[in-house]
């Protein structure tokens, strides 16, 4: 069967058409893709792909669709089932395409009440949020968490998940659109921080909300690498590592997506005095190392359960049709987008 998909070829996006092998291995499933999240891979994922011998790197990974065929040992789904999943980082298949082949352990059943759009939109960011909150921060009810970029895909679902767990939530934004979105959250966050407001800054707010103790957990989506002395009089709207460390309380956990984080001796000393820890968030570890496959599938199934119960409510910024993807990718600006952009096949 002919499969049209998008690949990254020599740092440029392109359509390719190839013949899809109809012979499935025993545990594989053949999925007709309904929609896919349009998201540029992070730097760590790009570095991994560059080390593979493939000349055409697949693009798009968070998908929702319908099972067309299954291998003879597949037990978790059957033809006709609607499924949602994440294409592994080392797969040859693009999620931004017409079809893909996965193992049955890469997908879970999509509840009928959940739309394909919401399922695909939520699955990747919810996996990151679960990993950060429950497997790294190990949060418990009553603790305080600060969430940076809370109006982006990860931040939205992490905020909802934290509220559902009984945490006190401080959300952070840096544009008028983000602040308006965060003030309109339902249920509302405990506090909204505007990074542009230097008079009532992040550190001050975090300390005020915790009685001067500092937050138990801080989840960021990238930080400014400069030291606090270098940005003291700066008007930058970017979160700094100095602000993060200063906002943490004793025993605080810093969960960061910055894979190139550099800590100066002064940063390390402050973290040590607080007995705080730093955790690096890279959700693809679940599929690159299959040692915790049961936990991974549990997370995906629980995401679908919480979507059907409307505990998690992803934000779809807008959708695009498949044939217009190349034009969109050339001008994709995820930093100024509330929620996620999705492709409908």
For 97, which DSSP code? B
Residue 9 lies in a domain: yes
Are 193 and 111 part of one and the same domain? no
CB atoms within 10 A of CB 244: 27
3-state secondary structure of 263: coil
Between 223 and 119, where is the model more confident?
119
Tell me the average pLDDT across 91-104. Answer: 91
How high is the pLDDT of residue 332? 72
Are 271 and 296 part of one and the same domain? no
How high is the pLDDT of residue 236? 52
CB-based contacts of 74, cutoff 8 Å, min separation 6: 26, 27, 28, 29, 104
How high is the pLDDT of residue 87? 92
Between 200 and 225, where is the model more confident?
200
Are 271 and 146 part of one and the same domain? yes
Are 255 and 306 part of one and the same domain? no
Domain assignment of residue 259, given as a range: 141-280
Residue 134 lies in a domain: no
Q: b/e string for 176-203 if b means 16 or more Cβ within 10 A?
A: eebbebbeebeeebebbbbbeeeeebbb
pTM: 0.91
Are 189 and 252 part of one and the same domain? yes
């Amino acid at each position: 069967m002919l499969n049209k998909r998008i690949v990254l070829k020599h740092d440029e996006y392109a359509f390719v058409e190839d013949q899809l092998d109809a012979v499935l291995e025993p545990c594989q499933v053949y999925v007709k893709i309904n929609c896919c999240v349009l998201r540029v891979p992070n730097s760590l994922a790009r570095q991994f792909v560059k080390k593979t011998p493939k000349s055409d790197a697949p693009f798009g990974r968070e998908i929702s669709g319908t099972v067309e065929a299954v291998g003879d040992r597949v037990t978790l789904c059957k033809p006709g089932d609607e499924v949602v999943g994440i294409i592994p980082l080392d797969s040859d298949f693009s999620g931004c395409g017409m079809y893909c082949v996965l193992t049955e352990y890469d997908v879970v059943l999509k509840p009928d009440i959940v739309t394909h759009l919401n399922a695909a939109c939520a699955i990747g960011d919810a996996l990151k949020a679960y990993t950060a909150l429950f497997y790294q921060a190990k949060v418990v009810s009553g603790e305080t968490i600060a969430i940076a970029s809370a109006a982006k895909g990860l931040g939205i679902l992490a905020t909802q998940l934290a509220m559902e767990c009984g945490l006190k939530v401080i959300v952070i934004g840096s544009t008028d659109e983000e602040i308006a979105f965060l003030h309109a959250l339902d249920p509302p966050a405990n506090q909204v921080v505007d990074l542009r407001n230097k008079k009532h800054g992040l550190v001050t707010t975090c300390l005020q909300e915790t009685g001067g103790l500092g937050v138990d957990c801080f989840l960021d989506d990238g930080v400014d690498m400069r030291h606090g002395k270098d940005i003291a009089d700066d008007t930058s709207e970017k979160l700094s590592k100095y602000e993060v460390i200063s906002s943490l309380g004793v025993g605080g956990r810093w969960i960061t997506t910055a894979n190139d984080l550099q800590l100066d001796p002064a940063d390390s000393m402050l973290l040590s005095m607080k007995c705080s820890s730093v955790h690096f968030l890279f959700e693809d570890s679940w599929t690159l190392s299959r040692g915790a496959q049961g936990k991974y599938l549990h997370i995906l199934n629980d995401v679908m359960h919480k979507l059907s119960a409307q505990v998690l409510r992803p934000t779809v910024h807008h959708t695009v049709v498949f044939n217009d993807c190349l034009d969109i990718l050339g001008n994709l600006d995820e930093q100024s987008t509330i929620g996620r952009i999705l492709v409908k096949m």
